[in-house]
Amino acid sequence: MADIPIVDFAQAASGTKEEKEHIANQIDAAFRNIGFVYLKNHGVPREKVDECFAWSKNFFELPISTKLLAPHPPGGSHHRGYSAPGVEKVSQHEYDANELHKLRNVPDFKESYESGNTNDEAQPNIWLPESSLPGFRAFMESYFDVCKALVHQLLDILSIALNVPNPGLSATHAQSLFQLRLLHYPAISAQELAGKKRSRINAHSDFGTVTLLFQDAVGGLEIEAPTRPGEFRPAPPVPDTVLVNVGDLMSRWSNDRWKSTVHRVGFPQGNREGIVPDRYSIPFFATADPDTLIAALPGCWGEGNEKRYESVMAERYVQMRMAALYEG
């Protein structure tokens, strides 16, 4: 099992200075060790999470012809709408078009629906006609807002951990150009999954600053062991928690103090035979405002701890990695 601590987030917003520092220290330790943490008492009501999974199921159960009324545009620069199984292929730092094409011989056997902030002009949302799934759009917009609020609370705590003075990291995410993703991995024969003919999601790190991940009870998420490259360990669903991980931008910002750990989805624990059941998950990706310069934060480098990365504009880095996801 991956060694991911569970941190109580209850006092994150209204706690005393000491209580907030205590939360910040625990998350700091988790992000240094493994780059992942489970938060409990995170403030997103259980009913709301359950409702989101229910909507996700309703959406993916629609006929493909209906889902394609909200099609993900070709190419990776406008990451919204519905992607049918095999359309998106996740990879890890592979940008050569020929190599990416070869990777596609093993399609990711998943389908997804992406939405973002209603005021995101660069990537407008792509909704179904309201009559195809009445209420879906309103719920997703409300879920976006709840997750957005949690991200900003988390950024306040992370600012304490990294000694970023007020207004802290939250101010660098002021536009909240985040992404809410519904993922469905259809049932698949264990043989097919084992034979590497089809994957669920390939090993990758996330691109942004932080990711929230809600998973159903099926399991299958695996995380690379920090000191044993290539060895993956289960990160099972823990009821009433949200799993939070560091993305590449945050890792660069912290000059690798925090790890952007590679993860993938494969077999659920103890289930390698017969049919591997359907799985649903709901990641929520946060990223800094497009024109934020991601350069090692002042507390994260100095003598004996040199800067490890070139500075990069947030938007440029994310666009580069998104472009590798889709054949344009």
Footprint of Fe ion (CB under 5 A): 206
Collapsing DSSP to helix, strand or coil, 30 comes out as helix
292 lies in the site for ligand AKG, by CB under 6 A: no
β-pairing, 241-246 vs 210-215, is: antiparallel
Binding pattern for the stretch 269-288 against ligand AKG, x by CB under 6 A and - elsewhere: ------------x-x-----
Minimal CB distance to ligand AKG: which residue? 281
The one-letter amino acid code at 216 reads: D
Find the part of the chain contacting ligand AKG (CB under 6 A) among 44-52, 58-66, 213-221, 268-276.
Answer: 213-221
The one-letter amino acid code at 57 reads: K
Minimal CB distance to Fe ion: which residue? 206
Collapsing DSSP to helix, strand or coil, 180 comes out as strand
87 lies in the site for ligand AKG, by CB under 6 A: no
- For residues 20 and 79, which CB has a smaller minimum distance to ligand AKG in the complex? 79
218 lies in the site for ligand AKG, by CB under 6 A: no
206 lies in the site for ligand AKG, by CB under 6 A: yes
What does 42 bind: Fe ion, ligand AKG, none (CB cut-off 5 to 8 Å by kind)?
none
Phi, psi (5° rounding) for residue 288? Answer: -75, 160
Beta-carbon contacts of residue 43 (< 8 Å; ≥ 6 apart): 9, 13, 149, 150, 153
Collapsing DSSP to helix, strand or coil, 201 comes out as strand
182 lies in the site for ligand AKG, by CB under 6 A: no
249 lies in the site for ligand AKG, by CB under 6 A: no
Is the CA virtual torsion 144, 263, 316, 169 positive or negative?
positive
114 lies in the site for ligand AKG, by CB under 6 A: no
**Is 145 in contact with 123 (CB distance < 8 Å)?**
no
- For residues 156 and 206, which CB has a smaller minimum distance to Fe ion in the complex? 206
Shortest Cβ 250–ligand AKG spacing (Å)? 14
80 lies in the site for ligand AKG, by CB under 6 A: no
**Quick one: 88 exposed, middle or buried, by C-beta within 10 A (0-12, 13-18, 19+)?**
buried
Which residues lie near ligand AKG (CB under 6 A)?
Answer: 181, 183, 201, 206, 213, 215, 221, 263, 265, 281, 283
